[in-house]
Structure 1
Amino acid sequence: MSTAAPSAPSSPAPPETKTFRSEPASTAQRVGGVWRKGRFWVICTAIFVVLSIIGFVLANAGNQSTGTLAINNPAPAGAQGAAEVLRKQGINVTATDSLASTTQAISENGSGASTVLFYDPQNLLSTDQAAALSRAVQDAGGRLVAVSPAPLTAAQFSPDLASAGTVRGTASVSAGCSDPDAIAAGTLDGGSPALGVLAPVSLPINLYKGAETCFAPAASTAGHLAFNTTGDIVALGNPGIMINQDLANRGNAALVFRLLGSKPHLLWYTVSLKDIPVAEQAPSLAELTPKWIFPASSWLLLVAVLGMLWKGRRNGPLVAEPLPVIVKASETLTGRARLYQDARAVGTASRTLRHATLTRLARALRLGAAADPAAVVEAAATATGRPHQQVYALLLGEAPHTEREMLSMAVELTALEEEVAQR
């Protein structure tokens, strides 16, 4: 009988191998990955940089300004339109920003050749400087057109001029005088803010009185325009008639060009910080401090003292209150000892030690807590066999004067209590 050979056990299948491939690591692929992750912020940054550059270029193109009534400001509140029209008519328009440069230009232009437009919106020019400008213009035979001058400044320019307050804008106002420039203009824009289409601008309107007053609102003796007796000093209270957005309204342009174009040279003088005189030395703290600060401080200090005396809490009698927590006797003893040590209260600490020893000795000798100290001394001397004088000096004698003497006394008191306890 034949038997089949046992079959060899089958070998286990080899494990499945996995192939690992490296990630693409070329420069272009890495840059692409970074771009996909951060392209939003890169685009935003690029847009911001481009807009900033464009804004900077536009703001500085042609040396443009953003100031009101600036001759290089094309915005609605600027006066570039009036300046350019005057230049095309052959007028030499020059911008100045200091009294020194203005007076120098007046002298260089020659006699009777300059018109000075004065504009000081922040009222920086002093009265002495205003008087100097007026003299320079009149000595050179020029003309001064002051746009909304301050009351004191207008009075320094000419005694014939006086400020008469301000008025709200109206639709229009007629000349109402015999001046040829005002008659040629006919009516002026009253400064209504609704006249601005793209960017409405409303400038304050000041009224002035002079030897000749024009463009007076209804029921008013003061007007938008005032002249002195000779007509070489003019106060124009409505600066809005010469800004770009309102120049073409009604008779604004006619009045502006006739006032400013009568001389071959126009100096457009806008007061700046250059006109503020520089002090020879820095002001002291006392000079910078307002005059009212010391009286006010003294008054506040007095009120504070009176308030403290009136409402301040006064110390009343001591009130005995139970401790909110239970304190261990050892902690109380340690704390009290440290207080005595910090205060160098040798006498008080000695009396406390002696009193405690007498109390414990009276209890140990069965004399009672209210026993007389002399009786306790007599009983302790009898119980220990010590001389009476020695025990008396220890318990009732002179108190120690130093901490060393007090420590020695404490040791002797402890030894005495131990002898009484062992009897």
Structure 2
Amino acid sequence: MSAADQPAQTSTVRGTLDALVQTLKRWQFWLLLLVFGAIVTLAVQLISTEDTERYGLENTALDGYAALARTLEDQGVELHRTYSGAEAAAQLEETPEAAVVVLHSSLHQPSDDTVEELTEHAQGHPVIWISPDAMLLAQLGDEQAQVLPISEDPQATSSQTMLLEAGEDCAIEAAQSAESLETTGEVFRTDLSRGGSCFPLSPQHPDAGSALVETEQGILFGAPDAFTNREIVTQGHAALALQMLGQREDLVWYTPSGADAAGDGQWASPTELLPDWAIPLTVWLLICGLLLMLVQGRRHGPVIVEPLPVEVPASEAAEGRARMYQNADAVHASARALRAAALLRLARTLRLGPSPAEAVITEAAARHTGRSVHETRQLFDITHIRRNTDLVRFGQQLADFEDDLLKRLGHAPRERN
């Protein structure tokens, strides 16, 4: 590339960037509106009360319990949903005859005090513990509890189902009515059984593990997927759910959460309540912010020492002011500056003295160019200038008018850059 082509390329790139900046400024209102709308949409999604958690009573997805909840309500059962042991205890004080369901997950466990209270409640009222997790069994008093896969095939996947029969030794009426259970995942083996076990993994070996066990703490059910919207109509799942959960008019549905930690008088750590990706994302954003600060605050070159006062050529000052007007999209202010400069030059050319009135300048210019006074005044009118194209056209008309005046006076036209 030749040296002559480099300035042209630089000018093209600069012109493209300037055009992009002007476009962004022109559309900044709509861009801000779009960003604001995205923020509002995200906020609505975050504060949405729609139940999307697995086994949620209002979750209408395939892994939700919405169908079960609606069926229980149609049968006259009033559901009381709680997320902490304290709320469950308070609800039991209001409805002491209610049955209790503890939907346990591996993420949160009920407190020991809550387990003790529910164990006492189970002496006279139904308490159903729903979880395939051995951690719950250990919390109930069986440290040797085991979670067993439903299939002996090591190549079997967690989505593979197995049909389990209630069994001859099953003494739970709800399981006898259901007769069979098609479950996925795992079952548990525990020594807590006091009233028998149902749906054994192997009918010939009842000790191999069961999906439903009756204990002093209540009924332990290890196949929560059986009550989901996808599986509730399979085999005897509906009969098992209605007879096991629909025994009382009130049903306290307790799902342990992070609120249990704060309920024991211990402050829950905020990090425990955040999703796993929140902390890495926060650290990454802090690193990006520090890098951005370093990039924006770096020195672009050595400090230039110049003697004071600094002399700035008039052309550079005028160009800098023009660029400021351009960046601010100040079309009307630019038109006023062009008009004032043109009137000043015309007054000097026509030798009208210091600070002549605008009307005097336009009348004298009209007389020397042969134009009408009205046409000359219209030439200097800036009320119609709204866009950059109008400003360029206005500047060209002023320049042509000055050149015409200079020619009529016998002077050479001005040089244009």
- TM-score when scaled to structure 1? 0.46
TM-score, normalised by the number of residues in structure 2: 0.47
